[in-house]
Amino acid sequence: MIILGISLLLFLIAIGWPVGFAIGIAGLVSLYFIVGAEITLGLVSQVVYHATANYVILTIPTFIMMAELLSSSGVADDLMAACSRRFRNVRGGLASACVVAGSVFAAACGSSTAAVASLSRSAYPTMKRLGYDEGFSVATISITGTLSILIPPSIALVVYGIITEESVGKLFLAGVIPGVLTACGYIAAIYASILIRPSIVPPLDTRALQELPVENHGNIWPILILIAVVLVSLYSGLATPTEVGALGATGAFIICAVLGRMSQDRFQLALGNTLKNTCMIVTIIFGALIFGHFITLSQVIPELLDWISQSGFSPLTVLVCVIVFYIVLGMFMDQFAILLLTVPVTYELLTGLGFDGIWLGILIVKTAEIGLITPPMGLNVFIASGATGVNTKDVFARSWPFVVVEIIMIAVFVTFPQIVTWLPSYM
């Protein structure tokens, strides 16, 4: 029966059905054959009730709204101007400034899409005018956007917490050190790329600030204050993740309005993008929860655990196989769909083998980062390429140093899990 359910899911995705509907329909049909129509309808009603009654799910639209307000208003562009000042006397400095600005912006939002869109608008025009290789520029922007699904507040970590019932606050804390180390790794990859192929950057980008749009003055204090309010409220216990999301969205609106960046058109754009992205994610959540019931009733997890214990595979071997599976799957599927479809299985499997659920969440999100910049899916690459007009083939060709960094980071976190679990242990 498990083969039938997965085959139906893959078929629906292959013929172009939206992922959320494909997962839900495959789960409904499979449940019908296992428990019948009456119990299936009862399970569906439970899914709808428990999902809508779970206040943590409100974190998703609020964090998306915060990101979209900062992106559509152009406030995030100031980060690029400020960071470029710090790196203007370093060869390839504008690319490094892009990573630093993206890291700060990631701490104010949880949306990779919003981060890529903002960086494409604020960083690429200047990088192009100064003579940076177009593929390299967009690859840097694409990989920097992935930091928003790791550095808190991360929507991906919120979704993982909803599925596994792990603490969202602890997941946010667990993402801090890996996020900072990953950003440092990206900067290292930039300079390694320059050593291998010096022609991808101009001799010096000293004109970076002059080439930025006039309205970008590089005033980053408003967004830094917003980040401080969000993080202090969350980690001090003053507010829950859901309340922090609402606080952040309200703060972002006030900042944009005070700075004169919030016109009616920009607000409508932010609101529209928030509704669109929230509907997509929540639909996938509903479908994945239904499919999760099917996975549970099919007894595939206990059978898989028994098979692993009898096969003699070590827990580390199983973990490596799961990581490779996620990397490959990320090349072909949407990252949120992967999380919601596979986490119910892999979480039970790996925690059953003794692995920590918080640490596991960071590893799974890290593998999702790789899928955002690898073909054929490469969502961040397609978003950045669409915004800049650069051929995706050139971007993918320049992305491999960043992929290598991602794989090295995953190996480090597997070898030294304390990097991930140290901060949450104090919560």
Q: Give, in order, the Cα–Cα distances in Å from 51 to each of 128, 265, 289.
A: 46, 32, 9
Q: Helices 264-297 and 335-352 meet at what angle, rounded to 10? A: 40
Reference 392, options 382, 403, 400; nearest CA is: 382
Amino acid identity of residue 224, one-letter, is: L
What is the spatial distance between Cα 59 and Cα 424, in angstroms, rounded to a whole number?
20
| pTM, full prediction | 0.76
> What's the pLDDT at 216?
46
Show Cβ contacts of residue 85 under 8 Å, excluding neighbours closer than 6 positions: 208, 209, 218
The pLDDT tens digits along the chain (427 residues) read 667 777 887 788 778 777 678 878 888 888 888 878 878 888 777 777 766 666 667 777 887 788 778 777 776 667 666 776 677 777 788 888 888 888 887 777 666 777 787 778 777 887 887 788 999 999 999 999 888 888 887 888 888 888 888 888 899 889 999 999 999 999 999 999 999 998 888 876 445 445 444 444 556 777 778 878 877 887 777 777 778 878 888 888 888 888 787 888 888 888 888 888 778 777 777 777 777 777 777 776 567 666 766 777 888 888 988 888 888 777 766 677 778 777 888 888 888 888 999 999 999 988 877 888 887 667 788 878 877 888 888 888 899 999 999 999 999 999 999 999 998 887 6
What is the CB neighbour count within 10 angstroms for residue 35?
15
Domain map (residue ranges) of the chain: 54-262+298-426
Q: Evaluate the CA torsion angle 186, 187, 191, 197 in order and state its sign.
A: positive
> What's the pLDDT at 404?
93
The tokens 């974190």 sit on which residue?
A: 59
Reference 77, options 259, 247, 201; nearest CA is: 259
The tokens 């590089």 sit on which residue?
A: 218
